[in-house]
């Protein structure tokens, strides 16, 4: 049938393009011929009971699937997403749901009572120690965020605006601390800050102090220093990207309209780098609040954070429901704070004109 249609098309073209007069012998022949052909086609279609206009057999399942895939952007998107999406569902969403379920259950000895209860959350709010450690975690990671972003901004600014050649090399250099394991970095700070560490022995050999300083390690300051160093690249890179994107003509326009260097920075560069700053702040604040390696290594008794408490509930005390409730509340708290922070910062910067 495809053959017939193809042939018919050729004939139709031939009929149209030949320049004979109306009713010439050849035309009459052609039209009669076409009529006859149509009759054959109709009979053939009836015989095969196919309704397709193209006269082909109905497409198979795989053809239809293929057509659907080619037409649908959503389908293409999901196919591209699927490896990551499946991993995320298996390793992130499922455990998270389990965590939520556990937080509404009760630990009874070695068994878990699966009757619904909000007692775990009540326990968290009523026990002052839990609330305290939560706030302490927030304060510490807030401080870490502030310090890291504050120190990273000038570095990112320098690479974006000051470096003319080989920017790539500078960016690689900035990420060098990340070439070793996180654990090793935390340990190296232990060596630097320790009782017989680099700072203490250095100061003693210089004669600046007689006794080693004991306030360097095993407290909140040590945690803040270690975390700020560990997360530096997470701050530098997003801020660098947002600074790099700023059209330099905008700064010239600001200068042209009367702004000196500081005013230009405050009125143009900083507001336009805000997405990078917020990104960096979130990238640091969220994981540092939940960090438990660094406080465990350098935090000492006063430097413990919420993650250490969660770890104790799960691995030492064995109260999974309470641990789950702690984890879920910490997550919710951090999420709310991050949203509030980002919105407040955006609103504040919008007032810079």
Partner 1 sequence: MADNIIRIEKVTKQFAGGAKAVDDAHFNVERGEFFSLLGPSGCGKTTLLRMIAGFEFPSEGEIYIDNQASSLIPAYQRPTNMVFQSYAIFPHLNVFDNIAYGLRKSGLSGGELKRRVNEALGMIKLDGFGARRGDQLSGGQRQRVALARALVKRPKVLLLDEPLGALDKKLREEMQIELRQLQKSVGITFVFVTHDQEEALSMSDRIAVMVKGKVLQIAPPQELYEAPGNVEVASFIGSINLIDVTVKSVGAGEAVLDGAGFGQLRARAIDDLKAGEKLVAAVRPEKLALVSSRPGSGSFVEGTVKASAYLGDRSHYHVFVKGRTTPIYVAAQNAERAMTGGFDTAKSVYVTWDWQSLILLRR
Residues that bind partner 1 (CB under 8 A): 247, 249-250, 252-260, 263, 267-268, 271-272, 350, 353
Please identify, using beta-carbon distances, which residue of 250 and 336 lies nearer to partner 1: 250
Helix (H, G, I), strand (E, B) or coil at 164: coil
Going by C-alpha positions, the residue among 301, 304, 279 that lies closest to residue 292 is 304
Cβ neighbours of residue 236 under 8 Å, at least 6 residues apart? Answer: 152, 155, 156, 159, 174, 280
Find the shortest distance in angstroms from Cβ 208 to partner 1: 45
Q: Which helix H or strand E contains 107, and what residues bound it?
A: strand 106-108
Find the shortest distance in angstroms from Cβ 255 to partner 1: 4
Q: How far apart are CA 309 and CA 133, in angstroms?
A: 8
Please identify, using beta-carbon distances, which residue of 81 and 263 lies nearer to partner 1: 263
Find the shortest distance in angstroms from Cβ 34 to partner 1: 42
Q: Are 309 and 133 in contact (CB under 8 A)?
A: yes
Please identify, using beta-carbon distances, which residue of 271 and 295 lies nearer to partner 1: 271
Q: Are 328 and 100 in contact (CB under 8 A)?
A: yes
Cβ neighbours of residue 263 under 8 Å, at least 6 residues apart? Answer: 254
Give the CA dihedral 132, 138, 139, 145, nearest 10 degrees.
Answer: 170
Query: Which tokens sit at 332?
Result: 């919710």
Find the shortest distance in angstroms from Cβ 269 to partner 1: 11
Please identify, using beta-carbon distances, which residue of 203 and 255 lies nearer to partner 1: 255
Please identify, using beta-carbon distances, which residue of 21 and 258 lies nearer to partner 1: 258
Find the shortest distance in angstroms from Cβ 283 to partner 1: 22
Find the shortest distance in angstroms from Cβ 152 to partner 1: 21
Q: Are 14 and 34 in contact (CB under 8 A)?
A: no
Distances (CA, A) of 134 to 114, 127, 166: 27, 11, 44
Q: How far apart are CA 1 and CA 8, in angstroms?
A: 10
Find the shortest distance in angstroms from Cβ 225 to partner 1: 34
**Angle (nearest 5°) at CA 318 between 312 and 324:** 75
Please identify, using beta-carbon distances, which residue of 197 and 276 lies nearer to partner 1: 276
Please identify, using beta-carbon distances, which residue of 50 and 255 lies nearer to partner 1: 255
């Amino acid at each position: 049938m495809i053959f017939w249609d193809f042939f018919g098309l050729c004939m139709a073209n031939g009929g149209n393009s030949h320049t004979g007069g109306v009713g010439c012998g050849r035309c009459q022949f052609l039209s009669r011929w076409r009529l006859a052909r149509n009759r054959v086609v109709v009979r053939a279609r009836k015989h095969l009971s196919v309704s397709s206009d193209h006269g082909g057999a109905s497409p198979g399942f795989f053809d239809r699937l293929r057509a659907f895939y080619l037409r649908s952007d959503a389908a293409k998107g999901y196919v591209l997403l699927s490896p990551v999406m499946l991993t995320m569902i298996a390793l992130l969403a499922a455990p998270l749901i389990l965590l939520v379920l556990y937080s509404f259950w009760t630990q009874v000895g070695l068994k878990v009572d699966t009757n619904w209860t909000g007692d775990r959350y009540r326990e968290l709010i009523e026990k002052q120690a839990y609330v305290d450690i939560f706030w302490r975690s927030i304060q510490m990671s807030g401080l870490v965020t502030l310090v890291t972003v504050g120190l990273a901004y000038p570095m990112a600014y320098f690479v974006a605006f000051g470096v003319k050649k080989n920017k790539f090399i500078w960016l690689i250099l900035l990420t060098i601390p990340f070439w070793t394991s996180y654990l090793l970095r935390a340990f190296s700070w232990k060596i630097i800050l320790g009782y017989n560490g680099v700072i203490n022995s250095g100061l003693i050999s210089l004669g600046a102090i007689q006794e080693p300083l004991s306030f360097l390690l095993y407290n909140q300051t040590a945690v803040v220093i270690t975390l700020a160093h560990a997360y530096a690249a997470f701050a530098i890179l997003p801020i660098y990207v947002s600074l790099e994107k700023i059209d330099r003509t905008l700064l010239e326009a600001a200068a042209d309209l009367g702004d000196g260097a500081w005013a230009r920075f405050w009125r143009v560069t900083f507001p336009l780098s805000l997405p990078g700053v917020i990104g960096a702040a979130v990238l640091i604040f969220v994981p540092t609040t939940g960090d438990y390696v660094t406080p465990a290594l350098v935090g000492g008794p006063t430097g413990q954070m919420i993650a250490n408490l969660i770890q104790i509930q799960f691995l030492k005390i064995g109260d999974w429901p309470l641990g789950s409730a702690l984890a879920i509340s910490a997550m919710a708290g951090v999420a709310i704070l991050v949203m509030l922070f980002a919105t407040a910062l955006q609103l504040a910067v919008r007032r810079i004109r």
